[in-house]
Amino acid sequence: MRKAMFEHEIKILRDTFARLLRRNAHTNLVKLIRKTHPADLAVVFRYFNDEEQVQVFSIMVDDGQAVEFLVELDDTLIANLLEDESPERIATVIQESSANDQSYILGTLEDEQAHSVIELLKTEEQEEIEELMGYPEDSAGAMMTTNVFTLYQNTTCRDALTSLQDQSEAEMVFYLYITDEDDRLVGVASLRALATTPADTILKNIMVKRVHTVRPETDQEEVAQIVAQYNYLAVPVLDEDDQLLGIVTVDDVVDVIREEATEDFLQMAGAGKDREILLKSSWENARARLPWLFASWIGGIFAASIIGTFEHLLESMIALAAFIPVIIGMGGNIGTQSSTIIVRGIATGRIEIGSELKVMWKEVRVGIILGALYGLLLGAFAKFRFIDADPMLGVVVGLSIGCSMLLAVAVGTFVPMFLRKVDIDPAIASGPFVTTSIDILGVLFYFVIAEYFLSI
Amino acid sequence: MRKAMFEHEIKILRDTFARLLRRNAHTNLVKLIRKTHPADLAVVFRYFNDEEQVQVFSIMVDDGQAVEFLVELDDTLIANLLEDESPERIATVIQESSANDQSYILGTLEDEQAHSVIELLKTEEQEEIEELMGYPEDSAGAMMTTNVFTLYQNTTCRDALTSLQDQSEAEMVFYLYITDEDDRLVGVASLRALATTPADTILKNIMVKRVHTVRPETDQEEVAQIVAQYNYLAVPVLDEDDQLLGIVTVDDVVDVIREEATEDFLQMAGAGKDREILLKSSWENARARLPWLFASWIGGIFAASIIGTFEHLLESMIALAAFIPVIIGMGGNIGTQSSTIIVRGIATGRIEIGSELKVMWKEVRVGIILGALYGLLLGAFAKFRFIDADPMLGVVVGLSIGCSMLLAVAVGTFVPMFLRKVDIDPAIASGPFVTTSIDILGVLFYFVIAEYFLSI
């Protein structure tokens, strides 16, 4: 299977590290670390225990290798690893890297520790880092690369090529950003356009003038949407005066898309939104999941109270109790289907403002189809299974599951769309919310219907 | 709010189209279509009704605009739109585009229609399309661009630059792929390396030799993982003889990551795995969701039968029925949290083979913590609320919810890891599966515990 290729390679690497660490083979470890891609190193690092992590990190040389590795690492692991390092070592490790890598690493540390490190850096670096760290988390400003290569609009293609060749810092040149005399971004040109145009042409005449840009405070999710929508390799970030602050590159967008999907998954399951939850302790895990379960506990208490008030009904027909799980369970499941389809539809831009009613009506039709089908099935089963009970039991059970499923679809569809309307992340209209609502509503409708139809 | 910017622009575009379509303003429509980005056009297109879609598509000129638009469109919409078009029009529309765009569009059509179109194309195009369409869906072969710019390893940088300038076809040149005399891929160089090296250097001396490659049958998910892991802009696809068949570019990978996340979401909610489900009719929707609900229906029937066999217990203590929803509901919710964390952890590579036991044990600890907490809470509530019932009711209820939650965590953790082990997509260990298991197991444990503790 080709599918397992990547996993297989990582596994071999992990085993090699484990063996060398066990044998304490310093020289071989140094060699292995040197020839391993920092991204791979970051993956296997998760499987080391605390001492092994410290040992491997202490072996890394500070000439750029350590910092390249750190930026690939999960936030939680960076913080753990650097917690006990001296500010001096940290400053040495990060001093040669770019401002956005520096601010990313410092952002994972405690404020005080980060501050001590910043004080050890050069003044101009300090200023740049503090500016970057000032942007909100998950914004374009926080993820942009400030190292951008710009050219003046009246430069000729020949001169542009020459200055490109002198440019050793800006690592990934995707596009050439072109500015006017006031340093405002006025256009963009591709490397290819530059290479395929007569050498005397000025950039102004080959550049594309309509450029999609974002502001530093733009949410990373919107940046990702723009990059994905138009297949860009980078998006420029401008301040209010249209001056180029930096660019967000596609490789960072790839990470954002994965991270946002993970957060949405966790949030919809009512498991918080910490994408690194697997790296956290059982206690932290329990704490993140506790509030959602509390909501569902309260819902359960409500359901218990409702059933309690219908005790007289249950007393005269015990068989009613048997159908509680299937009525609320089917409701919960179809409701979760609906809310998942809607939440994901909103996230991928398939549900636009204005199309809500159409979508809702379609979901309700699905609820009617499936509710009627499973209502008939369950009604028939109830009639057959509890043959001695009231002849209306089948009707009650069938009608109740139909209602429960229809209600669930309505709740599962309406709630995320409503939340979006009031500017709350629809992903919190999560599984627990829908299933809990159905626990309460399903049980209530069930007993009201039973009271109406059963001759008790 | 900057967040709404993108949505806002799309809304304006949609309104403009709606107005022009209402007024049947042909000339203005032509202008608007011409100046709208194909990707934006594809987004607003979803909101047109069938006649409007046909009208807008008929206005598009066949000089490349129509095909650029089509490749941005959802599969379902392409199929709908082209269903009634003649093979001649389709052939005209796609004839100037690249082989992978052609095979993508043809792939959405019925076999017979696709075949009629292929017959109208040039022979060499036919061959290439048939080759591409032969690769499995969702493989590197199906998504690769075959238009790749390669250079021979003994070419000098000067000659390489010259031939690059003649190269008008390969639209996105990310890397220079370098081959030996037998056309095998031997290395890769960046455009920048080319531009910054003395002109007489041969490519062999500047190329990177260790290149990460994939095979045409590699799953798109693995390709995405490689691109994301190493921040590549493109990955070369090689056949068994190491000959370069094409490249998969990062912009396609961005789409894959989004699509795979959507499929996992839907699958985990038991709503099939058709990412275009929102574009399907209510009937198709119901059909996709029906089987998962059927499984949950069967589970409900089991639960009903279990409760049925404990009728004597319920008869002597009706209050037991009241706690059925909260016991299975809390179990279902904590189990869904666990399975979501695990499924996502597997998808993002955070749960490696070999670390399963550690992860499982951590989850079980979370189950114990939260099960004990909510067991105590619910036991206390039961004692207080049903004050006249058996004094052991609180113990029974508390113990049962604790067991139910612990079981749920174990099921939610074990099942996806087991499925991965036997090479089945863990995402099908979905919400419905976990909640249904807990419907059955939770109810069973509840009544067994009740039978043991209650003096009936």
Q: Which pLDDT value is given to residue B426?
A: 85
- Is the CB of residue A429 less than 8 Å from the CB of residue A416? yes
- Is the CB of residue B260 less than 8 Å from the CB of residue B426? no
> Hey, what's the torsion of the CAs at B64, B69, B72, B77, to 10 degrees?
-130
DSSP 3-state of A250:
helix
> Which of A15-19, A121-125, B288-292 is the least confident region?
A121-125
Closest-CA distance, A85 to chain B, in angstroms, reads 26
Residue A350 CA: distances (Å) to CA of B5, B72, B130:
16, 13, 32
Give the ipTM. 0.85
CA A276 – CA A263 distance, rounded (Å): 9
Q: In this model, does residue A106 exceed pLDDT 60?
A: yes
What's the pLDDT tens digit per position in B415-449? 999 888 888 888 876 678 888 999 999 999 999 99
Q: Which is nearest to A292 in space by CA: B442, B335, B296?
A: B335
> Which of A68-82, A148-162, B2-16 is the least confident region?
B2-16
Q: In this model, does residue A413 exceed pLDDT 80?
A: yes
Q: Answer whether B296 sits within 8 Å of A333, measured CB to CB.
A: yes
Per-residue pLDDT averaged across A211-216, rounded?
A: 92
> In three state form, how does the secondary structure of B370-430 look?
HHHHHHHHHHHHHHHHCCCCCCCHHHHHHHHHHHHHHHHHHHHHHHHHHHHHCCCCHHHCC
- For B319, which residue in chain A has the nearest alpha carbon? A308
pLDDT tier, B414 (very low <50, low <70, confident <90, very high otherwise): very high
What's the pLDDT tens digit per position in B259-268? 888 888 888 8
Q: Which pLDDT value is given to residue B300?
A: 92
The answer for residues whose C-beta is within 8 angstroms of residue A448's C-beta and 6 or more apart is none
The answer for residues whose C-beta is within 8 angstroms of residue A35's C-beta and 6 or more apart is none
CA B294 – CA B292 distance, rounded (Å): 5
Q: In this model, does residue B176 exceed pLDDT 70?
A: yes
Residue A308 near chain B (CB below 8 Å):
yes
Q: Which is nearest to A237 in space by CA: A258, A211, A256?
A: A211
Q: In this model, does residue B33 exceed pLDDT 70?
A: yes
Residue B428 near chain A (CB below 8 Å):
no
Per-residue pLDDT averaged across A255-283, rounded?
A: 87
- For B269, which residue in chain A has the nearest alpha carbon? A337
pLDDT tier, B172 (very low <50, low <70, confident <90, very high otherwise): low
Closest-CA distance, A242 to chain B, in angstroms, reads 16
What's the pLDDT tens digit per position in A51-78? 889 888 888 877 778 888 999 998 889 9
* Percent of chain A scoring above 90 in pLDDT: 40
CA B311 – CA B105 distance, rounded (Å): 60
Backbone angles phi, psi at A236, to 5 degrees: -75, 145
Q: Which pLDDT value is given to residue B244?
A: 92
Is A389 or A297 the better-scoring residue by pLDDT?
A: A297
Amino acid type, A257:
I
Interface size between A and B, measured as CB pairs under 8 A: 385
Q: What residue has token string 């967008």?
A: A253
The first and second tokens of residue A360, run together, are 């809702």
CA B247 – CA B143 distance, rounded (Å): 9
Comparing CB atoms, the residue among B233, B251, B349 nearest residue A43 is B349
Residue B100 near chain A (CB below 8 Å):
no
pTM value is 0.85
Per-residue pLDDT averaged across A109-136, rounded?
A: 89
- Which residues of B are less than 8 Å from A228 in CB distance? 254-255, 258
Closest-CA distance, A117 to chain B, in angstroms, reads 28
Residue A229 near chain B (CB below 8 Å):
yes
Per-residue pLDDT averaged across A304-313, rounded?
A: 91
CA end-to-end span of chain B = 64
* Percent of chain B scoring above 70 in pLDDT: 96
Q: Which pLDDT value is given to residue B428?
A: 76
Task: Tell me whether residue B388 is exposed, middle or buried, using C-beta atoms within 10 angstroms of its C-beta: 0 to 12, 13 to 18, 19 or more.
Answer: exposed
Residue A376 near chain B (CB below 8 Å):
no
Q: In this model, does residue A160 exceed pLDDT 50?
A: yes
The answer for residues whose C-beta is within 8 angstroms of residue B54's C-beta and 6 or more apart is B81, B84
- Is the CB of residue B357 less than 8 Å from the CB of residue B448? no
Per-residue pLDDT averaged across B190-213, rounded?
A: 84
Closest-CA distance, A184 to chain B, in angstroms, reads 21
- For B234, which residue in chain A has the nearest alpha carbon? A251
Cβ atoms < 10 Å from Cβ of A164:
20
Q: Which pLDDT value is given to residue A84?
A: 86
pLDDT tier, B303 (very low <50, low <70, confident <90, very high otherwise): very high
Provide the chain A residues 112-171 that lie in CB contact (below 8 A) with chain B. Answer: 161, 164-165, 168
Q: In this model, does residue A350 exceed pLDDT 90?
A: no
Backbone angles phi, psi at A177, to 5 degrees: -95, 130
- Which residues of A are less than 8 Å from B219 in CB distance? 2-3
Q: Answer whether A325 sits within 8 Å of B303, measured CB to CB.
A: yes
Q: Which pLDDT value is given to residue A357?
A: 87
Comparing CB atoms, the residue among B268, B278, B354 nearest residue A350 is B278
- Is the CB of residue A386 less than 8 Å from the CB of residue A393? yes
- Which residues of A are less than 8 Å from B393 in CB distance? none
- Which residues of B are less than 8 Å from A47 in CB distance? 352, 354-355
Amino acid type, B156:
T
Q: Which pLDDT value is given to residue A168?
A: 57
Closest-CA distance, A236 to chain B, in angstroms, reads 15
pLDDT tier, A127 (very low <50, low <70, confident <90, very high otherwise): confident
Residue B359 near chain A (CB below 8 Å):
yes
Q: Answer whether A337 sits within 8 Å of B229, measured CB to CB.
A: no
- For B377, which residue in chain A has the nearest alpha carbon? A297
Q: In this model, does residue A423 exceed pLDDT 90?
A: no
Q: Answer whether A332 sits within 8 Å of B337, measured CB to CB.
A: no
Q: Which pLDDT value is given to residue A11?
A: 84
Q: In this model, does residue B315 exceed pLDDT 90?
A: no
Q: In this model, does residue A2 exceed pLDDT 60?
A: no
Q: Answer whether A286 sits within 8 Å of B325, measured CB to CB.
A: no
Comparing CB atoms, the residue among B293, B322, B344 nearest residue A262 is B344
Per-residue pLDDT averaged across A99-121, rounded?
A: 90
Q: Answer whether B431 sits within 8 Å of A333, measured CB to CB.
A: yes
Q: In this model, does residue A3 exceed pLDDT 50?
A: no
Per-residue pLDDT averaged across B166-190, rounded?
A: 79
Residue B324 near chain A (CB below 8 Å):
yes
Residue B43 near chain A (CB below 8 Å):
yes
Closest-CA distance, A26 to chain B, in angstroms, reads 25
Q: In this model, does residue A421 exceed pLDDT 90?
A: no
- Is the CB of residue A171 less than 8 Å from the CB of residue A252? no
What domains can you pick out in chain B, each with its CATH number?
2-139 (1.25.60.10), 150-251 (3.10.580.10), 277-453 (1.10.357.20)
pLDDT tier, B455 (very low <50, low <70, confident <90, very high otherwise): low
Residue A191 near chain B (CB below 8 Å):
yes
Q: Which pLDDT value is given to residue B379?
A: 92
Per-residue pLDDT averaged across B207-236, rounded?
A: 90
- Which residues of B are less than 8 Å from A161 in CB distance? 195
Residue B198 near chain A (CB below 8 Å):
no
Residue B323 near chain A (CB below 8 Å):
yes
* Percent of chain B scoring above 90 in pLDDT: 40
Q: Which pLDDT value is given to residue B171?
A: 54
Per-residue pLDDT averaged across A11-26, rounded?
A: 90
The answer for residues whose C-beta is within 8 angstroms of residue B133's C-beta and 6 or more apart is B103, B106, B107, B114
Comparing CB atoms, the residue among B341, B354, B432 nearest residue A277 is B341
Q: What is the average pLDDT value for chain A, to the nearest integer?
A: 87
Reported for A282-291, long-range contacts at CB under 8 A and 24+ positions apart, including other chains, are A282/B362, A282/B365, A282/B366, A282/B369, A283/B369, A285/B362, A285/B363, A285/B366, A286/B366, A286/B369, A286/B370, A289/B334, A289/B337, A289/B366, A289/B370, A290/B370, A290/B373
Comparing CB atoms, the residue among B222, B286, B353 nearest residue A369 is B286
Number of H helices, E strands in chain A: 22, 5
Comparing CB atoms, the residue among B227, B337, B343 nearest residue A270 is B337
Task: Tell me whether residue B59 is exposed, middle or buried, using C-beta atoms within 10 angstroms of its C-beta: 0 to 12, 13 to 18, 19 or more.
Answer: middle
What's the pLDDT tens digit per position in B179-190? 999 889 999 988
pLDDT tier, B409 (very low <50, low <70, confident <90, very high otherwise): very high
- For A362, which residue in chain B has the nearest alpha carbon? B282
Q: In this model, does residue A401 exceed pLDDT 90?
A: yes
Closest-CA distance, B332 to chain A, in angstroms, reads 9
Residue A341 near chain B (CB below 8 Å):
yes
Q: In this model, does residue A173 exceed pLDDT 70?
A: no
Q: Which pLDDT value is given to residue A395?
A: 92
Q: Which pLDDT value is given to residue B2?
A: 37
- Is the CB of residue A129 less than 8 Å from the CB of residue A121? yes
Q: Answer whether B307 sits within 8 Å of A322, measured CB to CB.
A: yes
Closest-CA distance, B17 to chain A, in angstroms, reads 14
pLDDT tier, A153 (very low <50, low <70, confident <90, very high otherwise): very high
What's the pLDDT tens digit per position in A433-456? 888 999 999 999 999 999 998 865
- Which residues of A are less than 8 Å from B374 in CB distance? 293, 297
Per-residue pLDDT averaged across A381-392, rounded?
A: 81
Q: In this model, does residue B391 exceed pLDDT 70?
A: yes
Q: Answer whether B303 sits within 8 Å of A296, measured CB to CB.
A: no
DSSP 3-state of B360:
helix
Q: Is the dihedral of CA B32, B33, B38, B42 positive or negative?
A: positive
Q: Which pLDDT value is given to residue B5?
A: 60
